Amino acid sequence: GGGGGGSKAVVDALAYDPPEEHIVAADVRFNLDGKQVRLLASRDEAGKMLEVRVIGGDLPPLAMHWGAREHGKKWGKPSEEMMGPNSSRKENAVQTDFVKGDKGQVASIKIEGNAEGVDFVLRHASDNKWFKAPDGDFFARVKEEDDDPNDTPLEQLSLSEAGAGMGVDSIAAFESRGGLSLMERFNAARTVLKDAAGDRSRLRAVMVWLRFSQMRQLAWQRKHNTKPTLLSQEADKLSMLITSKWAQARGVDAELLRMMLSAVPRGSNGDDGQAIRDQILVIMRQFEIKKRKGCWMEEWHQKLHNNSTPDDIIICQAYLAFLSSNGDRGEFWRVIHENGLNRERLAGYERAITTEPDFYGHAKDGLINDFHNYLRILKNVHAGADLEKCVEVCRPFLDGHMNQLLEAVLRERGADEGRAIGVVDTITEVRQMLSSRMVNEGDGTKLRDLLYLDLGLEAQLRLMAERSLGAMNEGSLGMDKLTRALALWIALAAENLGITASPGSGKIVDDKSVNSEANEMKACVRDWAEMLQEAHKGVSPGWAVRAMAVVERMRRALGETVEDISSTVQPKAEYLGHGLAMVTPEKIPEKWCITLFSEELIRGGGCAFVLSSYLRKLDKALRAQGGGHIWQIVSAGKPGAQGWVEEVPDLMSVQAKTYSRPTILLANSLSGEEEVPPGVVGVITPDAPDVLAHISVRARNLKVFFATCFDADEFENLGRYIGKAIDCEASGDTVVISETDGTKLGQSSEDKLAEGLSGIKISLPPPAKFTKYAIPESDINPDATPRTFGAKSTNIVAARRMLPKWVETPRSAVVPFGVFEKVLEHPENKEIATQYKTAVEQLHTVDEPTGHLRKLQKLILALNAPKELQEGVRAALRLSGIIADGELEGAEWDEAYIALKGVWASKWNDRAWYSCKKAGIGVEYVQMAVLVQRLVESEYAFVIHTENPSNGATDEMYAEVVVGLGETLVGNYPGRALGFSMKKDGKTPPTVESLPSKSVGLFGGGLIFRSDSNGEDLPGFAGAGLYDSIPMVHNSRRTLMYHREPLIKDQALADKIMRGICQVAVDVEAAFGGKPQDIEGCYRGGKFYVVQTRPQV
């Protein structure tokens, strides 16, 4: 399902993706000396370095003439610090020569001081030609401006304060005028947008502004008349400008511009605008309808003459319904009301319409014919994405096949639910072909018309999908047929969402794509196509389980797409909306419209809402057929939990809070990096953490009830308990929740915490003194006292010596306790040491520690390395067989030292601070050793507990497996792992509990520096995962597609790996005296590796 025969995406000769850690600051395509070229500017995450790259064939030598933008002021004089290599001062500006790069020509600029970005033009270095962007000077933003200056609500600021440098002042000043018209708004919007080169804040502001206008939440006329001709011309100019901006944009910016275009009529050169005035008079004269006061037609004529608006399309449609029904005024008002108008709106025009239409029976047919033609004129001026009009406009320059498909769509627009899926399939095919055409269309007018056609097709798809959804029920179709129908609709909706998000890129998943949401949706579509093929053979429980894994991933990808739009748009809507309501005479936009702005934008935008609706329905159908349970119990609690219910957007936002009474949180999301706050006895979330992820282990350690609710409706229904006391308890595969007497839940959070930790004595061993800078594996003695390294080093070296030879372990060396303190005391680090000591002392006097924790981490990362440290680490690694002679010199050592300091600095991360504080461990007394190993370039990574944590069975193990390196598992990357359980005796096959839905796999090798503190693996304290393990080199990320993943497709391989993991676990447990173990390992080239093991908490 997906329409098959779309044209292939055209290979982009100007394609180039900046480094993964860079953020795109400008991306413009333009003509340079008759050649199509691309200018791509990207910055590092800190906003300290800007790279500008010009890509194209046979480029002349170029230079960049630039100035610094500060506080919204363009072309400021750059400081001397900003002038890098190949730069020279040119009066108040700077010239930087481009040099040849790996692709195109490259110039680099250092960003210092208050510079928000760089304004620049290009110059031909030899013949002095100058080149600008299509809409003016180039601009690359390097620092995201704060939408809300000083965090003050807009309604509390003056207009000049509120809009400084962002175009908001221009918008507010315009809307506060005593007189305005829609034509003037379009003109003002064009002015603001024209100056928005590279300014995302201004782009968002214009989109929100025009959307408010489209929704009639801003006045279309205020004491000002406009000729329809001028309105039509201004709409034409604005729609063309938006189109040119879209052609240069990518990702979210392109989607915002597309949404902006949908809020603007196409317009024309003015002939149609004048025809609005002329043709209404022609019709009235032809049918002898007198121009007399109190006549409906005359009132509408006066309104059209005074100020025609998009409302006139609705009025014309209502009048046609009135004529076709032989004068039934009920039909007139039905169409009026269905399209958002009412009597009050009509009576509120400056040329009010207060009477009702008259029926001229003798002229009925002639009037219907003429007003259908008049409706076309109105749509030419006021409608952009009207499908019929869009097809008419584009027909002359589309090929015959596409025109045939479009005609079929127009014919079948009213198709019933049974035939609608075929029409949507055709729409999908057309949109595939259009998307390739649009990204390569050089004619601006044609591109605009193609964009409007695409918007019209998407709107038609949404209407047909929403109409068909109501007929999707088990009663009329049967469960098997219902599931297959929903699966096909989802395939089409997801494919169309990908077309919208990333037009012209085809169906190929590009791991280097900067548009990660679109890439993820494409991967889901590819996996879903496989499931769809299988569904045609019948829906079995096994199919339902596999389909559910893809559905979970697709729902997550959709959520990321929606969140990206919402987080980009909603703050601006609230900021601008409340400010405009303060200055407009009508006191609009209304509050409801501001609050629900992004939600309504997404609902009305097309495929995202359609996909969400169908996924929700399919989720229930799959679970009914054995595709999965509604609940997953991560931690059973004490068992269960009793507490007062509160809802939070995410767990991270409240981890610093202490709850004064036992609390059960409804957390809408979690990242896996959080700590459960003091006083919280239960967490229920729609997110699915891996059962063996560190956050899950810590929840079980604290006996916090922790459960995932996969059913969106069920989770929403839990909202009825907010503010009430409940009792929740695991019962088999479900959670039983009931209200309880809150007066019996009076314990304070401290009492609850003491109870949760009762019987657990947690204390750090005495601090170890410095002995040497690094210890090779041969000198790591697991039985040594006092120990100068943590349990991680002890256990892996012991395992290496005790495990059978078929189980591989990586060689190890240790940077022991005391080395960090020794480096801090070095004379080169004297000033840092003083600041560090002060920051640690201050940490205990502040309410909000985040800022101080960041400061401590930055101080550690600034430490200089004594020569003895470098020599000692290299020697220990060579003696351990981890590196060869000549390795870890120069730049390689610099990278290694950055990783080493990163592990030391992780002592002061948020989750460690809150976890240790909760357990009564002073973080300043934690000592950090660092275990250094060669990273196994694994095909699959696993974690296994030798006692099943889900049910407490001592004769059963539970494991989770991911593709690639294990960080996606222990770090709780979004999605689920392959989860399975197996009896220790190996007599029964493994039982698969969950199928993988992780979005990415990490791959790579090199050295890895693992935290090995004295605050991990203490009796009764799950310190694992609190501190960081950092690879010396960045791992590569790959978007995973499970339809071709051997672990899923090859049952024999999967069985071999699952049984092998379990045998590893049995051998490790036996080697450590039969004590339950928490084991991390991997599989590569037919061999199993154990990379660390610890007692299972």
Catalytic residues: 694
SS3 sequence of 7-53: CCCCCCCCCCCCCCCEEEEEEEEEEECCEEEEEEEEEECCCCEEEEE
CA-wise closest residue to 1082 among 939, 978, 949: 939
Distance CA 147, CA 704 (A): 39
CA-wise closest residue to 547 among 606, 614, 605: 614
CA-wise closest residue to 371 among 301, 270, 291: 301
Report CA 778 to chain centroid distance, whole Å. Answer: 47
Q: Which two tokens stand for residue 112?
A: 């210092």
Q: What does the angle CA 762 – CA 764 – CA 768 come to, to the nearest 5 degrees?
A: 170
Contact (CB, 8 A) for 553 and 997: yes
3-state secondary structure of 407: helix
Q: Enter the DSSP assignment of 1042.
A: G
Distance CA 835, CA 829 (A): 10
Report CA 529 to chain centroid distance, whole Å. Answer: 23
Q: Enter the DSSP assignment of 133.
A: B
Report CA 785 to chain centroid distance, whole Å. Answer: 50
Distance CA 497, CA 609 (A): 10
Spell out the residues 6+ positions from residue 830 whose beta carbon is closer than 8 angstroms to its own.
none
Question: Residue 562's CB: how many other CB atoms inside 10 A?
Answer: 20
Distance CA 200, CA 613 (A): 31
Distance CA 215, CA 262 (A): 12
Q: Which two tokens stand for residue 773?
A: 């800078």
Distance CA 26, CA 196 (A): 12
Amino acid at 419: R
Spell out the residues 6+ positions from residue 847 whose beta carbon is closer than 8 angstroms to its own.
none
Q: CB-hemisphere CA count at 13 Å for 292?
A: 6
**Residues written for the chain:** 1097
Report CA 172 to chain centroid distance, whole Å. Answer: 30
Contact (CB, 8 A) for 134 and 29: no
Report CA 797 to chain centroid distance, whole Å. Answer: 41
Spell out the residues 6+ positions from residue 423 whose beta carbon is closer than 8 angstroms to its own.
408, 409, 412, 413, 415, 464
Contact (CB, 8 A) for 367 and 380: no
Distance CA 946, CA 1062 (A): 8
C-alpha dihedral (123, 125, 126, 131), degrees to nearest 10: -20
Distance CA 788, CA 819 (A): 10
Q: Match 């329409």 to its residue by tokens.
A: 3
106: β partners: 53, 99
CA-wise closest residue to 792 among 1013, 971, 944, 1006: 1013
Spell out the residues 6+ positions from residue 844 whose beta carbon is closer than 8 angstroms to its own.
none
Q: What is the residue-wise DSSP string for 139-182?
A: EEE-SPPPSSGGG--GGGS-HHHHHTTTSHHHHHHHHTSSSEEH
Q: Which two tokens stand for residue 500?
A: 């919208």
